[in-house]
Amino acid sequence: MSLIGAIIKGAIHLKDGLTPSVDHIKAQKAVLDHLLDTAKDTAFGKNYDFEAIAQSEDSQLAFSKNIPYFDYNKLKEEWWDKVINGEENITWPGSPDYFALSSGTTGKTSKRIPVTEAMVSAIRQAGIKQVEALSNFDLPISFFDKDIMMLGSSTDLEERDGHLEGEISGITASRIPFWFESYYKPGKEIAKIDDWDERVQKIAEEATQFDIGALSGIPSWMELMIKKVIDYHKVDNIHQIWPNLQVYTSGGVAFSPYEKSFNALLEKPITVIDTYLASEGFIASQQRPETDAMQLITDGGIYFEFVPFDAEYINQDGSIKQEAPSITLDKVELDQDYVLLISTVSGAWRYVIGDTIEFTDVERAEIRITGRTKFFLNVVGSQLSVNKMNTALRALEKQYDIQIPEFTLAAVRIDGEFNHHWYLGTESKEDESNLAEALDNLLQEANKNYRVARTKALKGVKVTTVDPILFTEWSGAQKKKGGQVKMGRVMSEEKFEAWKSFVEDASK
Whether 342 and 415 have beta carbons less than 8 Å apart is answered as no
Whether 445 and 399 have beta carbons less than 8 Å apart is answered as no
Taking the CA of residue 358 as centre, how many other CA atoms within 13 Å lie in the half-sphere pointing to its CB?
Answer: 14
**Least trusted range by pLDDT, from 7-21, 93-107, 108-122:** 7-21
Mean pLDDT over each residue of the chain, to the nearest integer: 84
The verdict on 96 and 220 lying in the same domain is yes
| Higher-pLDDT residue of 487, 243 | 243
Listed residue (195, 168, 178) closest to 251, CA to CA: 168
The verdict on 281 and 342 lying in the same domain is yes
| CA 355 – CA 353 distance, rounded (Å) | 6
The verdict on 291 and 382 lying in the same domain is no
Mean pLDDT, range 141-164, rounded to an integer: 81
Q: For 349, left (φ over 0), alpha (ψ -120 to 50), or beta?
A: beta
Domain end, chosen from 337, 354, 373, is at: 373
- 3-class DSSP assignment, residue 420: strand
Whether 38 and 93 have beta carbons less than 8 Å apart is answered as yes
* Confidence at residue 3, expressed as pLDDT on a 0 to 100 scale: 39
**Helices of type H across 372-457:** 386-400, 432-446, 448-454
The verdict on 453 and 327 lying in the same domain is no
pLDDT surpassing 60 at residue 160: yes
* Confidence at residue 484, expressed as pLDDT on a 0 to 100 scale: 56
Asked whether the CA dihedral 361, 367, 370, 373 is positive or negative, the reply is positive
- 3-class DSSP assignment, residue 151: coil
For residue 311, what pLDDT band results from cuts at 50, 70 and 90?
confident
DSSP of 284-344? EE---TT-S-EEE-TTSSEEEEEEE--GGGB-TTSPBPTT---B-GGG--BS-EEEEEEEE
| CA 339 – CA 337 distance, rounded (Å) | 7
- 3-class DSSP assignment, residue 453: helix
**DSSP secondary-structure letter at 385?**
-
| Length of the chain counted residue by residue | 508
Domain end, chosen from 323, 353, 373, is at: 373
**Least trusted range by pLDDT, from 81-85, 134-138, 282-286, 455-459:** 455-459
The verdict on 66 and 185 lying in the same domain is yes
The verdict on 335 and 432 lying in the same domain is no
Pairing of strands 366-372, 294-296: antiparallel
| CA 101 – CA 89 distance, rounded (Å) | 21
The verdict on 305 and 317 lying in the same domain is yes
| CA 89 – CA 405 distance, rounded (Å) | 44
Mean pLDDT, range 230-257, rounded to an integer: 89
pLDDT digits (tens, 9 = 90+) for 251-301: 767 777 788 889 999 999 999 988 888 889 999 999 998 988 999 999 999
Residue 46 CA to its chain's centroid (Å): 33
CATH of residue 134's domain is 3.40.50.12780
Q: For 252, left (φ over 0), alpha (ψ -120 to 50), or beta?
A: left
Can you state the angle between helices 24-39 and 59-66, rounded to 10 degrees?
60
pLDDT more than 70, % of the chain: 88
pLDDT digits (tens, 9 = 90+) for 369-394: 877 776 555 555 556 777 788 888 88
For residue 106, what pLDDT band results from cuts at 50, 70 and 90?
very low
Residue 266: domain span = 1-373
Mean pLDDT, range 353-378, rounded to an integer: 82
* Confidence at residue 329, expressed as pLDDT on a 0 to 100 scale: 96
| CA 419 – CA 92 distance, rounded (Å) | 47
Phi, psi of 67 (to 5 degrees): -115, 125
Which of 139-153, 432-446, 478-492 is most confident?
Answer: 432-446
Please tell me the total count of domains within the chain.
2
The verdict on 111 and 178 lying in the same domain is yes
User: Degrees (nearest 5) of the Cα angle 349, 153, 263?
Assistant: 105
Q: Measured between alpha carbons, how far is residue 447 from residues 362, 390, 391, 443, 450 in Å?
A: 24, 13, 11, 6, 5
pLDDT surpassing 50 at residue 232: yes
* Confidence at residue 56, expressed as pLDDT on a 0 to 100 scale: 94
pLDDT more than 90, % of the chain: 38
Domain end, chosen from 373, 402, 430, is at: 373
pLDDT digits (tens, 9 = 90+) for 29-70: 999 999 999 999 999 999 999 999 999 999 999 999 999 999
| CA 418 – CA 389 distance, rounded (Å) | 18
Q: Measured between alpha carbons, how far is residue 160 from residues 96, 99, 280, 348 in Å?
A: 12, 10, 20, 21
pTM, two decimals, is 0.79
| CA 21 – CA 365 distance, rounded (Å) | 12
pLDDT surpassing 60 at residue 14: no
User: Degrees (nearest 5) of the Cα angle 187, 193, 197?
Assistant: 110
The verdict on 381 and 395 lying in the same domain is yes
* Confidence at residue 499, expressed as pLDDT on a 0 to 100 scale: 87
For residue 105, what pLDDT band results from cuts at 50, 70 and 90?
very low
pLDDT surpassing 90 at residue 405: no
Mean pLDDT, range 450-473, rounded to an integer: 82
Phi, psi of 63 (to 5 degrees): -60, -45
| Higher-pLDDT residue of 86, 177 | 86
| Higher-pLDDT residue of 230, 103 | 230
Mean pLDDT, range 425-452, rounded to an integer: 85
The verdict on 290 and 306 lying in the same domain is yes
| CA 249 – CA 129 distance, rounded (Å) | 14
The verdict on 369 and 381 lying in the same domain is no
The verdict on 390 and 368 lying in the same domain is no
